[in-house]
Each structure stands twice: as C-alpha cells, then as structure tokens.
Chains A and B, each alone.
Chain A
C-alpha cells in the first residue's frame, strides 16, 4: 500500500512545494493502487498516459506560486465530459462517446495543474443511491463489516469508493438529490454540494438541470475547501452560473464558530430512525455547542414533502434532458428491422440504451408533464418547492447560520439488498439531503462516527446561500471535534 496515495491535497501540495515529492511520484502511486483495486469497480476508464503527461507538466510548473491543485491526482466522475476520453454517464446509450470538448469544471481543475487518473463509476445518468444502476456494474464500498459487499452509495459511488480506498487524492462528484453527500457519508469521506449556480454545469451530462451541482469529494474539510475553490466561478456558457467572486475558502477555516447559531430541525427526526443515527446527531450537536455555537431548535414544516416533490421535478427535467439520446448525434443506435422508420429507431435505441431505473424516471417525467397532468403534478410540485425554500429562508432570517442533520437514514447497506424493494424504498436514502437541492443551498457531509458494525456515519451541515466559506468553517470545527480518523481495512 502506497503512503503517497493516502495524502490529502493539502499535504501533497505542501510536500510538492517543498520539493519532497513530485506529481509524477504521486500519480504513479495512485495508478499502482488503481490497478490493484479493480475489484472495487471504481475506475471504469483508466487514463494512465494522460495522467503521467499531466503530472510531468505539473512538475515543470511547480514552485511556491503554483496553484494549490497543481499536480494533484484526481478521479473524475463519468458524468463530466472530458475531451477525447470516454464520458458515458455510466449508460449504455453513450457507449463509445468521446466528447470533442472539456467540461468547465475539469477545464478549471486541469488549468490549475490537476492530474486526471481516469473516469469513475456512478449510477446511470446519476439516477440512483447505491451505484447499482451503472452499465459498468456496481461499485463496492471499501468498508465492510462482514463478508457482504456493501454499496458505497450513489450516484457518485465510484468517486466515494476511490477516495475512501486511497486510489486518488480526491474526486469530482455531482449532486442532484444527495449524490455527493450520501456516498461521502457511506464511505467516511467529506463531500460538499455548493449553492446552485456556484459551479458551472457546462459539459456535465444533465440529469435535472434546476437541481444538479458539481462538487468535490475529499479526505477532509480542508481539501474540500481547496478543491471547491478551483471548481467554482462564473461561466458564460452556463446561464445559471453566478457571477460572484469566489472567496479563498481555505483561508476561512479558522475553526472558530463562537456565537454561530446552529439550527436543529425537528422534522428530520424520522419515525423508525436507527438509534445510532439519533445518537450521532445528538453528539454532533453537543460538539458544536462545546465549540461555542448556540444551538436552537427550529422547524422546517414542509420537509416531509421534499421527496415527493423531488420525484416529480427531477424525473420531469430528466425526461426533457434525456430526449437528446435518440441515436442520431452520439452514442448507441439500435439495429433496425426491415420497414422500421425513425420512430422505431428512437424507440429501439432508447429501449436498448437506457437501464431500468432511467427508463422508469424518464417515463414518470413524461407522465407528469403530459397534457392534463401538468398542473396537478408538475406545477403543484414546483409550488411545494417554493414552500420548502421559504422554510429555509424563514430560519435564516431568524438568525440561523447553519443547520445540522444526519446525512443518511442508515449506514451503507449490502449490494443487492434493495433489489426486490419497491423504488420508493431506495428513494428514501435521500430524505435528509434532497431538501437542500430543492432550496438550492450548500450542504456538506462530514464523517462523524462509526456504527456498531464499524461502518462510517456522516452528519450534514446546511448553510446559507453563497456562504460556502462559513459552512466549510463550521464543518471544519465539527471535523476537529469529531476526530474521525478511521480507515477501511485493506482487503481488496
């Protein structure tokens, strides 16, 4: 096991600046770990030659004024379009697709000198909470408590597994309903979804455009601050990208949260919530209080309706976004039978190319947008979304700085365990995270403890819009108090 691939971004940056290590050495260490970890299923397109070229370029540029991300080896979620490198969104319908362009996020990371090790597995089109809907097959969580293979969560399951198993220093993720924060919690790493509009969506395969945001998945909060800063910024190619200055997030990590007001929302105390989650939440609350924060009970009355609203809005947007996969411009086209016209071509292509969960959501979205149902479902869901956002606005107006909740309703579950459950059971994984996407807020998952089986559990902090710096600092204080240092046993 290489020690170099275990480094944080901050430690690797400092070591490179001092000349103690090169990016080529870091990159080779990661590539070695990746080749030994195929059983995890995290990396689905390896790019060792590109990685070494990028590492050499980073080494040529290093020095005290090189960017923080210079020479840092990263895994990139398959949802990001990377020029000339397979970018399939883990879908059969994008088989063979190699974009002629680079996403804004990866452009910014690579211009800052970061190294791409390869593309990471995920749920197909980011639709899933267990990484079991991928055309590449599932990802395995490096954490285990017995002989069972566990899910790393989803949709950014490959990213989570790769970071937790020290195959890379950090990874990109995306989050539409919890797809950064839930897998981060399941694998004992840190993941932040920034405010909607902070990070450009250009070149990221679209799922639900009003909810999708990219963010970093890292080994600690400091790394999240460093990497997020490089990913953020205004992009004229994304009309929803915010034209706001990006602060130096790392410089805001003082760990001082004296006088901050932390809200504890009563609606997040769900019936049947495991005792361990309840205890973790209580101990996280106590930690923030000990650090000098004021704890206040709050109410977010429409919380219960977030998941049903999400399962109207996200499929509706997905059905529209995924209409482009028609076998004409890119990806898979079905073989046609004698007499087939263009409609048969569309129908067969989409039937062959999409997996079951994607088809289900596209059809649900089609239904809620169809004539006669648009008002009853789609417009009603958008009104409920307004109410959910107003819940948050009201508590922030009352002086709440951040909100503490559990990140997930349980620890990681076994792969295949939910196979026979109805889809709603899987959707419930996102019950604590989905409100944040609907309200467009920043949210971060921080590892905070282990359950009775030794599996990691995470807490979520939700911040005010555009105040990622303040949120990261609160997360930093929580991280220091929680002192989570556990690592999975190396079995792979």
Chain B
C-alpha cells in the first residue's frame, strides 16, 4: 500500500510531530516501505483467532482502594521545564 504526502502530513499532525513540507515526500516513501512489509500479515488466516490482550495468562491483581503515595509536589515538579507556583506552566490553552 502506498502512503501519499497528505496522509503523511495527517499522521505527523496526529502524532504532534512537526514535519516540514519538504520532508513529507521522503517520509511518505518510508511509511510506504514499512506498511508494505506489514501487508504480509494479510496472508495469515486469522478467522476465529482472539487478538492477544495479555501474553501471560494472569489476572490483574486487585489492591485495597487506599492512598499509597502523594504529597510530593516538589519532586513531581522538579524536572519541569517551566514550573510556577506549584504548577506546570504551559502556553494559554483557554481563549
């Protein structure tokens, strides 16, 4: 299957990765090669096969619904590129 430049642009947008217009054709070509490789999966008869959800047959453990952690504001913000007054700071998101 061939991926066109417009699809490459849309995928980059969905992935929130800026790609310059000039780089889109090469990207589309790479996607096409990878998707071509993946197309082999269409040869497999998967009728009635369950998609795998867990590779080991384990039930997720349950635990008491209690607070086990918290009150670590300083540690949580320590690595933030921009932290102010105890919050992560980002550009304005509400008009």
Contacts and interface: CB of A to CB of B under 8 A. Distances in A.
Partners in one complex: yes
Interface stretch (A10-18, A56-64, A159-167, A234-242): A234-242
A328 B63 contact: no
B91 A340 contact: yes
Contacts of B38: 308, 311-312, 368, 377, 381
B46 A384 contact: yes
A331 B79 contact: yes
A440 interface: yes
A309 interface: yes
Contacts of A354: 17
Contact of A351 (B17, B27, B55, B56): B17
A196 B55 contact: yes
Contacts of A266: none
Contact of B17 (A308, A347, A385): A347
Contacts of A422: 30, 33
Contacts of B35: 364, 367
Contacts, number: 169
A384 B91 contact: no
A383 B49 contact: yes
21 contacts: A99-B79, A100-B72, A101-B75, A196-B55, A210-B55, A243-B61, A302-B44, A304-B40, A305-B44, A307-B37, A328-B80, A331-B79, A348-B18, A363-B12, A364-B31, A366-B14, A366-B15, A383-B44, A387-B44, A389-B52, A422-B33
Interface in B31-62: 31, 33-35, 37-44, 46, 49-56, 58, 60-61
Contact of A328 (B43, B49, B81): B81
Sorted nearest first, the 9 A-B pairs with minimum C-beta distance are A440-B55, A382-B51, A333-B81, A330-B79, A351-B18, A347-B18, A383-B46, A100-B75, A366-B15
Interface string B53-95: 1111010110100000000100110111110000010111100
B34 to A, nearest CB: 6
Contact of A342 (B7, B52, B53, B90): B90
Nearest to B8: A363
Of the four ranges (under 10, 10 to 19, 20 to 34, 35 or more), the interface on chain B belongs to 35 or more
A384 B50 CA distance: 9
Dominant secondary structure at the B interface: loop
A191 interface: no
A239 B17 CA distance: 31
B93 A342 contact: yes
Interface of A: 96-101, 195-197, 210, 236, 239-240, 242-243, 302, 304-305, 307-309, 311-312, 319, 323, 326-333, 336, 340-348, 350-351, 354, 359-360, 362-364, 366-368, 370, 377, 379-387, 389, 422-424, 427, 438-440, 465
Contact of A345 (B19, B43, B78, B90): B90
Interface of B: 3, 7-8, 11-19, 27, 30-31, 33-35, 37-44, 46, 49-56, 58, 60-61, 63, 72, 75-76, 78-82, 88, 90-93
A370 B56 CA distance: 27
Nearest to A325: B16
Nearest to A100: B75
Nearest to A388: B52
Given A341-B91, A383-B49, A386-B50, A363 B11 contact: yes
A341 B49 contact: no
Contacts of B91: 336, 340-342, 345
Contacts of B30: 360, 422-423
Contacts of B17: 347, 350-351, 354, 359, 362-363
A418 to B, nearest CB: 14
Given A100-B79, A363-B12, A197 B56 contact: yes
Nearest to B75: A100
Contacts of A99: 79
Contact of A362 (B15, B18, B88, B92): B15
Contacts of A386: 49-52
Contact of A239 (B15, B53, B55, B60): B60
A459 B41 CA distance: 28
B79 to A, nearest CB: 4
Nearest to A99: B79
A101 B12 CA distance: 33
Contact of B58 (A197, A304, A379): A197
Contacts of B75: 100-101
B55 A423 contact: no
A299 to B, nearest CB: 15
Contact of A370 (B8, B11, B39, B60): B11
A305 B40 contact: yes
Contacts of A307: 37
A97 B79 CA distance: 6
Contacts of A385: 51-52, 55
Nearest to A386: B52
A348 B20 CA distance: 11
Contact of A387 (B15, B31, B49, B56): B49
A58 to B, nearest CB: 27
B13 to A, nearest CB: 8
A293 B18 CA distance: 56
